[in-house]
C-alpha cells in the first residue's frame, strides 16, 4: 500500500521464551517504558482512510441510528500487519477489510450495546461500564453463580443488570476470573503494547499444529497456510472447535486446505500420539489458558527450547487466569464508540479476534530470536490497547446521500467514501472433524491410536 509505515527493529517488543527463559513484561523485552510504535506518526488522514475502507463504522452504533467512527487505529494496524504477512509470502489481503469479513459473511449489522454476534452486552456498573459474554452453554449457570441466584436464561439479563448496577467494576473483575467467565469492567490501558513482528522468514513446508478455536488462532493458521505451511488442526473429542457449529462459510474460509486430527489425551495411546505430533511441529498455535495443554503434559517452554515457534494467544496474557472473547476483550480495553448520549456502543465485530490473528501470523512469519525457537505471549487485550495509542483526530462521519448507508469519513481536509463490509469466500470445504487423523499420523511416522 502507498505510504505504508515500514517495520522498525527499534520498536520490537517481543515476548519470548528461548532456551527456557522467562518471558519479558508486556512493555518490552526487558521491561521499562514501551517502545515507540512504527505507525505512531501516521497521518490522521491515513487512519481515517483505513477506517473508511474497512467497513467497520457500519458495524458500530445503534441499529436505528447512524454509523459511528471507532476510536484508535485498528484498521491501520491491521493493514500494517497484513503487509507484514504478505512480505513473508502469505496471501496479499487488505487487513482493514479483513476485520469485518465475518459480519459480511453472516449479513449481521450494528446492534448498539449488544455485540454484532449477539453474545456480549455492555451494561452499566456502579462506577462505570462492563462487557459480559454468554457465548457458551454453561455461561447462564455461571453468571447465575456470580449473582448468587438460580435463574433461567431468560431472566438472566435483567438480574445481571441489577447486580452490576449495585457493584463496582473491580468486584466484577475479581469474580469473573474466579468463575472462569468472559467479561469485565471497561478499563482503557492505552499505554500497553503488544509484541511486534521482525524481518520476514519463509515458512513453506513447515508443519503447523493448530490447537486453537473460533477466530484469532484459526485466522493465524489460515494465513500461515497461505504462506505454504502445512497446517494440521487438532481437536479433542470432548471439546471440538465451537466454530464448527456456527456459520459454515466462515469456518470453511479459515480452515479450507487444513488437515483435521482428533486425538483423545485421556487415553494413553492418544496422549502419546499427541506428544509426538507436537514434537514434530515447527509452529504450534494455542488459544487457551496455558494450563490446558500443560494438563496433558505438553510443555510450551520445552518446545520453544528445541526450536519450535509457539504462538500462545490468550485474552489477557499467559500470566493471567482470565478468559475472554473478541467482543468483551475489546470493550474491556476501551475500544468502544460513544453514541449521541455519550454512552458506549460496540465497535465492529469482535475486533480483538482478527487483530490478534493477524499479529500472531506476522510473528510466526518473522525471523525467530537467534534463529531458534520462541514462545510468543500474545495478549488480545494488549493488542487492542496498542491500537488505541493513535487515532484519526478530528475525523467524523458525514452523510453523503439521502438514503441508505451512504457516508463519508471526513477529516476536514479530505473525505473518504465509507465502504460496506466485504466478504472473502472459501476456496473449498473444510475437512470434517478427525477426517485426516490416520493419514496425518502415518505420514509423520506416528502410531495411530
Read off the pLDDT of each residue in 421-425 and give the average, rounded to a whole number.
Answer: 93
Same-domain status, 424 and 323: yes
What does the block give as the cell for 327? 467482543
Determine, yes or no, domain membership for 31: no
Mean pLDDT, residues 98-109 taken together: 96
- Same domain membership, residue 171 and residue 128: yes
Q: Which of 149, 165, 185 is the last residue of a domain?
A: 185
pLDDT at res. 227: 98
Same domain, 124 and 89: no
Range name among 192-196, 258-262, 432-436 with the lowest pLDDT average: 192-196
CA distance 384 to 220: 17
pLDDT grade, residue 354 (50/70/90)? very high
Predicted local confidence at residue 151, as pLDDT:
66
37 — pLDDT class (breaks 50, 70, 90):
low
pLDDT above 90 for 1:
no
Based on the fold, state whether residues 227 and 357 are members of the same structural domain.
yes
pLDDT at 39: 64
Q: Same domain, yes or no, for 88 and 216?
A: yes
User: Are residues 431 and 322 part of one domain?
Assistant: yes
CB 88 within 8 A of CB 366: yes
407: domain CATH number is 3.40.50.10540
* Residue 220 sits in the same domain as residue 338: yes
Judged by DSSP in three states, 74 sits in helix
DSSP assigned state of 343: -
Q: Which of 140, 161, 185 is the last residue of a domain?
A: 185
In sequence order, the 6+-apart residues with CB closer than 8 A to the CB of 79 are 1, 4, 50, 94, 95, 96
Q: Is the pLDDT confidence value at 33 over 60?
A: no
Q: Is residue 425 part of a domain?
A: yes
Statement to judge: residues 103 and 158 lie in one domain = no
265 shares a domain with 238: yes
pLDDT of the residue at 50: 96
For residue 366, pLDDT over 70 is answered with: yes
**Within-domain flag for 58:** yes
Q: What pLDDT does 389 receive? A: 84
Helix pair angle (380-387, 74-87), 10° resolution = 110
Among 158, 185, 212, the domain boundary falls at 185
What range does the domain containing 424 cover?
A: 14-22+38-109+191-443
Question: Are 129 and 197 in a shared domain?
Answer: no
C-alpha cell belonging to residue 210 = 493448530
User: Are 163 and 303 found together in one domain?
Assistant: no
pLDDT-above-70 percentage for the chain = 90
Q: What is the mean pLDDT of the chain?
A: 89
| 233 and 333 inside one domain | yes
Q: What CA–CA distance (Å, rounded) separates 316 from 267? A: 31
Over 60: is that where the pLDDT of 147 sits?
A: yes
Inside any domain, residue 146: yes
Looking at the structure of the chain, the number of domains it has is 2
Answer yes or no: is 9 within a domain.
no
Higher pLDDT, 373 or 33: 373
At 199-231, the pLDDT tens digits run 999 999 999 999 999 999 999 999 999 999 999
* pLDDT for position 38: 65
Share of the chain above pLDDT 90, in %: 78
Answer yes or no: is 6 within a domain.
no
Antiparallel, parallel or unpaired: β 407-410 and 230-235: unpaired
Amino acid at each position: 500500500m502507498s505510504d505504508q509505515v515500514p517495520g522498525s527493529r527499534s520498536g520490537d517488543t517481543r515476548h519470548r521464551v528461548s532456551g527456557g527463559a522467562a518471558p519479558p513484561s508486556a512493555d518490552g523485552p526487558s521491561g521499562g517504558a514501551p517502545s515507540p510504535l512504527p505507525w505512531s506518526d501516521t497521518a490522521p488522514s491515513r487512519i481515517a482512510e483505513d477506517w473508511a475502507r474497512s467497513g467497520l463504522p457500519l458495524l458500530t452504533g445503534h441499529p436505528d441510528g447512524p454509523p459511528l467512527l471507532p476510536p484508535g487505529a485498528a484498521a491501520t494496524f491491521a493493514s500494517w500487519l497484513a503487509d507484514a504477512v504478505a512480505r513473508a509470502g502469505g496471501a496479499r489481503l487488505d487487513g482493514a477489510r479483513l476485520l469485518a469479513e465475518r459480519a459480511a459473511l453472516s449479513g449481521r449489522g450494528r446492534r448498539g450495546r449488544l455485540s454484532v454476534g449477539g453474545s456480549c452486552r455492555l451494561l452499566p456498573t456502579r462506577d462505570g461500564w462492563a462487557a459480559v459474554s454468554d457465548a457458551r452453554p454453561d455461561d447462564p449457570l455461571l453468571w447465575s453463580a456470580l449473582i448468587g441466584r438460580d435463574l433461567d436464561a431468560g431472566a438472566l439479563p435483567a438480574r445481571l443488570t441489577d447486580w452490576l448496577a449495585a457493584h463496582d467494576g473491580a468486584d466484577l473483575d475479581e469474580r469473573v476470573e474466579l468463575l472462569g467467565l468472559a467479561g469485565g469492567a471497561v478499563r482503557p490501558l492505552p499505554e500497553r503494547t503488544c509484541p511486534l513482528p521482525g524481518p520476514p522468514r519463509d515458512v513453506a513446508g513447515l508443519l503447523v499444529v493448530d490447537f486453537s478455536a473460533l477466530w484469532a488462532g484459526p485466522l493465524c493458521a489460515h494465513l500461515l497456510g497461505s504462506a505454504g505451511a502445512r497446517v494440521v488442526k487438532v481437536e479433542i473429542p470432548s471439546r471440538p472447535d465451537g466454530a464448527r457449529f456456527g456459520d459454515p462459510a466462515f469456518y470453511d474460509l479459515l480452515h479450507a486446505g487444513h488437515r483435521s486430527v482428533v486425538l483423545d489425551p485421556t487415553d494413553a495411546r492418544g496422549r502419546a500420539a499427541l506428544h509426538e505430533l507436537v514434537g514434530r511441529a515447527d509452529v504450534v498455535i494455542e488459544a487457551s489458558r496455558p494450563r490446558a495443554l500443560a494438563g496433558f503434559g505438553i510443555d510450551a517452554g520445552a518446545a520453544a527450547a528445541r526450536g519450535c515457534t509457539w504462538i500462545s494467544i490468550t485474552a489477557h496474557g499467559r500470566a493471567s487466569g482470565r478468559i475472554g472473547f473478541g467482543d468483551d476483550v475489546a470493550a474491556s480495553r476501551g475500544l468502544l464508540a460513544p453514541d449521541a448520549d455519550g454512552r458506549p456502543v460496540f465497535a465492529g465485530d469482535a475486533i480483538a479476534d482478527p487483530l490478534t490473528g493477524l499479529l500472531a501470523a506476522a510473528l510466526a512469519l518473522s525471523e525467530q530470536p537467534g534463529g531458534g525457537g520462541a514462545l510468543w505471549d500474545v495478549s488480545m487485550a494488549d493488542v487492542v490497547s496498542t491500537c488505541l495509542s493513535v487515532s484519526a483526530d478530528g475525523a467524523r462521519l458525514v452523510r453523503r446521500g439521502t438514503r441508505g448507508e451512504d457516508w463519508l469519513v471526513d477529516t476536514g481536509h479530505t473525505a473518504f467514501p465509507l465502504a460496506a463490509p466485504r466478504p472473502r469466500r472459501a476456496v473449498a470445504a473444510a475437512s470434517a472433524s478427525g477426517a485426516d487423523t490416520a493419514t496425518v499420523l502415518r505420514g509423520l511416522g506416528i502410531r495411530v491410536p
